[in-house]
Every structure is written in C-alpha cells, then in structure tokens.
C-alpha cells in the first residue's frame, strides 16, 4: 500500500498546469500522489467586488484546466464549501495530507480566509506550502530590493507541466468520476449559475487556449500599434494584448508571458525587412515595462492590505463621506453607474465597460477620477462597482490605482481629468460616443450632473491643501519609503502579510506616477 502522503494542490487564481510552481513543488519535492482542488467559496463570491462576469470567465478557464488535467492524468476535485470546513471533510475522508498553493495577493476577505486556513493547518498539523508565482514578494523587508528579486524570479526558467503519480485506491475511490461532460458541467455549475445573474454580452471568453492565442497574435504583429492606440477606447480593444483577465485568473503566468515577449523580441530584431519591425520592438519594450509595473502595484496591496478600505495618506481619511451615502451621493452614484451623468464621453465609457467587462487603462483612470473628484464620491463605493464590472479584476492593481486616481496616496501627482478634453483627444470623430450614447442631442439625454470646471477646481483646492503642512509631508515621506518607486540599485522598508506565511522574502517596486497598465 502506498504510504506517501497525499499532496493536495489548491488552485485559486492560477488555472493552468504550465509554469505552476505550487504544482511543481507538490510533484517534485514532496514525491507523493497529487490531487488538484478547486473550490467555489460562497462567501467570497458573494462579496461586493465579485460578479457573474468574473464567474463566467472563471468557469471558461476551469473548463480548460479540467480538460488539460484529464490529459495529464491529474485528478481534480471541484467542491463548493468554505475552506476550513472543506479541509475538515477532506481530513476525515482521506486522512492526513500536505496542502500546496500559490501565495495570493487578493482582497481583504481572501487574506482573512488564508489566515483561517493557516490556523486550521497549524491546529491539525497539516503542512501548507505557499510558493510565489509572480514578482510580488511576501513579507517584504525592504522596498529597495524589489526590482532585483522580481527580476530574479522572472528570469528563472518557465516550468513545464510535471508528471503525476497515480492516486492510491483509498483516495481515488472517493473521487467522483469527472471524465464525462455531465460531471464536468455539474462541477462548473456554481460559477455558471452566478454568471447567469450578470449579463455581459461583449464579455471576453476565458480559458488558457484563448489566452495563448491572444498572446500569439499580439506578439506576431497585432501589437504594432499598441503604444499609439492604447489610450483610446475605440482602438485599444484590438491594439492592447487583452491578456489582463488571463493574468488575473492565472490561465497564463506573468513569467511565461514575459519569456514569450523576450523570444518575440529576438525574432523581430532579426527581421530587418519587415515594415512593422520598429513599431513592434517599441511596443514590446513598452509592454514588458507594464508587466513589471503590474507586479509593482500588486506589491502595494501585499504590503498593506488595508489599502482596500482605508485611505493611504492619513490626512485624506474623512475627506469624503465615509459613512452611509447621502441622498446626493446616491443620486450621483447611480447616474455614474448607469452612464447618465450628462458627460457623453464618461457615459459612453461606462456603458461600454458594463457591456464588455473591459476598458483601457486611461478610461479606467478617467472614470475613477470623475467619480472621486467631480462627483466627490468615496472611492470605496465607486471602486467596488468598477471591480464588479471588470472581468479582469485584480485587487492588487485595482485598489492602489483607485486610490492613486482619487488623490489619497499623498505621493502621486493629483490627476483630475477634463472629460471634454478626453473626448476630443480620444474620440475626435465621436464614433465611440455615437455608438454608446445614441440619444445624445435629444431631449432624453440628461444635462451635466455638475459644472465640471467648478467641481474640478474645488477638488484640486481640497486635495492640494492637505499637502502643505509639515505633518502631511512627513507622512508622505513614510508612504514613499514603504511603497514608492526605486532605482533597482537602492534599498527600502515595508510591512506585509507575514502572518499568512512561514517563508519571509523581500522585494522592491517602482511606481511611475502616471504609468499606465494597459494589457
């Protein structure tokens, strides 16, 4: 009888077999039989930042994962439960095991869930190995070291899918037969049911195969106009890589994408006769920098999980209404959510986002800035709504960016977008607005909800006024020391989610004040 301990690999936002360090650790280092585990956690999917469109993308991606796992002889158990409760059930039915997963920089609720799982594992003497899967460093000791550590991880070899050991009869006999189409649909059902509650007709399809095809076409030439077309919502849909959701849900790893970029660059450098060579090489350089910045922003939430609900700079706490929304707040919030603010370009972007689950970075920044500065709404309310709309919601990018565009970090330039200028710059022919706000110019389209110049001036005065005193400047210096951009040669400070891991490491990060994160 096989006495090797069962190795359970908990898949979360890492729905792939390729370049999966947790899976490699379970199969190579531990040398025991491996069982995959995917869990629909009702409490997490009921949160105000979760949505059916995200669940739909997840279901697509899980379908691909299950198919790949069957081909690789890796059994995967799909369950609906809260994690500590499920771990108890697994221990009772299968005996002791070793748990493996990737470190996750999720929202506050997933952070607390991981704390509960760690406490359960310690109580029941179950080893839990959490390993990094990207350039975000847990228990960061110094912000100044981050680029060096990030680059070392990204330069490491991409991991091929491992070989798997057959499960012992005591375990395999307890698993449902997931080889049939009906069994797979039953496994996907919780995500499918949630997806039905959130119609998103233009939603991007999930799954690793689709992600790989997007990567291939982007690197093969679709990305040639990336740098020039990423800012306009009318052109970004085709010119951006569109890999953001695949990176968020882990059908592709950041490292494998980066290695593919390096390989593509080498090929384009040799093709001197190609008319797109110069533009592609410039685009690849720009895209590579954004992959770096992606991990940099995620590091902020990793180092300070409270960024999801607390203003980073102390002076900005209480600046906007942090209690129950007033009647005015509610009216403005609903108008903004429904795309009827009377600012045609803002409304067109919001309607496009609601219909597709995606919009380019500059427009995300404008939607947030408009809500926070012109409408003076609290960023937590508007941030949750945007999170639900984004199929590619990545908490570690989302919340630091929401605060950055709302002027609450204390270390970034205050950006207040002029919605009319953005319309002129990004939709000069008005094709985008005409498509998404067809009633513009009729009696049914509302008048502007605020005087945008007066609102912008008031917001600017309020925010800049907080930065003048010595105490505020001292706080900003401390924030920069913890979160700010560094030259890779420097060194810095930080606090992290160390309570959720036994293996501290360090990282440094860069925060280009207005660096865009278009994928």
Instruction: Compute the average pLDDT of residues 25-44.
Output: 89
Q: Tell me the per-residue pLDDT of 149-174, one tens digit each, with 9 for 90 and over.
A: 999 999 999 999 988 877 776 666 56
DSSP of 463-509? HHHTTSSHHHHHHHHHHHHHHS---TT--------GGG-S-------
User: How sure is the predictor about 507, in pLDDT bands with cuts at 50, 70 and 90?
Assistant: very low
Q: Output the pLDDT for position 510.
A: 27
Q: Output the pLDDT for position 183.
A: 85
Q: Tell me which residue has tokens 């980066």.
A: 258
Chain center to CA of 38? 19
Average pLDDT over the chain, rounded to an integer: 90
pTM here is 0.92
Q: Output the pLDDT for position 515.
A: 40
Name residues whose C-beta falls within 8 Å of residue 398's C-beta, 6 or more positions apart in sequence.
Answer: 383, 386, 387, 390
Burial class from Cβ neighbours inside 10 Å (0-12, 13-18, 19+) for residue 275 reads exposed
pLDDT at residue 147 is higher than 50: yes
User: How sure is the predictor about 511, in pLDDT bands with cuts at 50, 70 and 90?
Assistant: very low
Q: Output the pLDDT for position 493.
A: 30
User: Helices 108-123 and 83-94 meet at what angle, rounded to 10?
Assistant: 30
Q: Output the pLDDT for position 498.
A: 37
Q: Tell me the per-residue pLDDT of 430-448, one tens digit each, with 9 for 90 and over.
A: 999 999 999 999 999 999 9
Q: Output the pLDDT for position 330.
A: 97
Q: Output the pLDDT for position 2.
A: 54
Taken in order of first residue, the domains within the chain and their CATH numbers are: 1-133 (3.40.50.620), 208-302 (1.25.40.80), 308-510 (1.10.579.10)
Tell me the CA distances in angstroms from 41 to 35, 109, 308, 366, one per residue in order.
19, 11, 20, 33
User: How sure is the predictor about 203, in pLDDT bands with cuts at 50, 70 and 90?
Assistant: very high
Whole-angstrom distance, CA of residue 280 vs CA of residue 287: 10
Residue with more model confidence, 178 or 8: 8
């Amino acid at each position: 009888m096989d006495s090797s301990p069962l190795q359970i690999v908990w898949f979360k936002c890492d729905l792939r077999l390729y370049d999966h360090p947790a899976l490699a650790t379970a199969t190579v280092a531990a040398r025991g039989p491996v069982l995959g585990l995917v869990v629909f956690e009702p409490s997490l999917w009921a949160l105000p930042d979760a949505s059916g469109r995200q669940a739909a993308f997840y279901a697509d991606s899980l379908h691909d994962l299950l198919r790949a796992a069957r081909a690789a002889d890796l059994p995967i158990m799909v369950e609906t439960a809260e994690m500590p409760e499920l771990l108890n059930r697994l221990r009772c039915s299968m005996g002791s095991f070793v748990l493996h997963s990737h470190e996750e920089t999720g929202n506050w609720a997933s952070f607390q869930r991981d704390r509960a799982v760690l406490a359960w594992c310690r109580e029941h003497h179950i080893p839990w190995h959490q390993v990094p899967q990207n350039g975000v460093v847990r228990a960061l000791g110094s912000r100044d070291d981050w680029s060096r550590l990030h680059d070392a991880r990204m330069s490491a070899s991409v991991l091929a899918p491992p070989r798997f050991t057959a499960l012992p009869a005591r375990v395999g006999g307890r698993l449902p037969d997931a080889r049939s189409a009906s069994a797979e649909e039953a496994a996907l059902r919780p995500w499918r049911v949630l997806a039905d509650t959130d119609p998103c007709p233009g939603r991007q399809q999930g799954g690793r195969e689709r992600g790989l095809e997007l990567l291939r076409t982007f690197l093969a030439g679709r990305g040639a106009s990336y740098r020039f077309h990423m800012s306009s919502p009318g052109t970004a849909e085709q010119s951006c890589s569109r890999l953001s959701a695949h990176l968020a849900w882990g059908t592709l790893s950041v490292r494998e994408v980066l290695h593919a970029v390096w390989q593509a660059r080498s090929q384009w450098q040799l093709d001197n006769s190609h008319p797109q060579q110069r533009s592609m090489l410039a685009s690849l350089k720009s895209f590579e920098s954004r992959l770096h910045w992606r991990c940099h922003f995620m590091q902020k939430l990793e180092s300070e999980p409270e960024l999801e609900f607390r203003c980073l700079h102390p002076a900005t706490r209480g600046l906007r209404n942090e209690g129950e929304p007033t009647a005015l707040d509610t009216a403005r919030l609903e108008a903004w959510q429904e795309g009827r603010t009377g600012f045609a370009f803002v409304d067109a972007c919001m309607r496009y986002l609601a219909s597709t689950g995606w919009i380019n970075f500059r427009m995300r920044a404008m939607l947030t800035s408009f809500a926070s500065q012109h409408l003076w709404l609290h960023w937590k309310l508007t941030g949750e709504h945007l999170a639900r709309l984004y199929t590619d919601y990545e908490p570690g990018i989302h919340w630091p960016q929401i605060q950055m565009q709302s002027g609450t970090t204390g270390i970034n330039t205050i950006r207040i977008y002029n919605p009319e200028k953005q319309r002129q710059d990004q939709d000069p022919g008005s094709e985008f607005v005409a498509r998404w706000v067809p009633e513009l110019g009729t009696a049914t389209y509302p008048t502007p909800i605020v005087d945008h110049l007066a609102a912008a001036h008031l917001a600017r005065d309020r925010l800049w006024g907080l930065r003048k005193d010595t105490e505020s400047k001292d706080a900003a210096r401390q924030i920069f020391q913890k979160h700010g951009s560094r030259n890779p040669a420097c060194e810095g400070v930080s606090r992290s989610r160390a309570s959720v891991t036994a293996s501290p490491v360090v990282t440094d990060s860069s925060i280009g004040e207005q660096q865009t994160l278009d994928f």
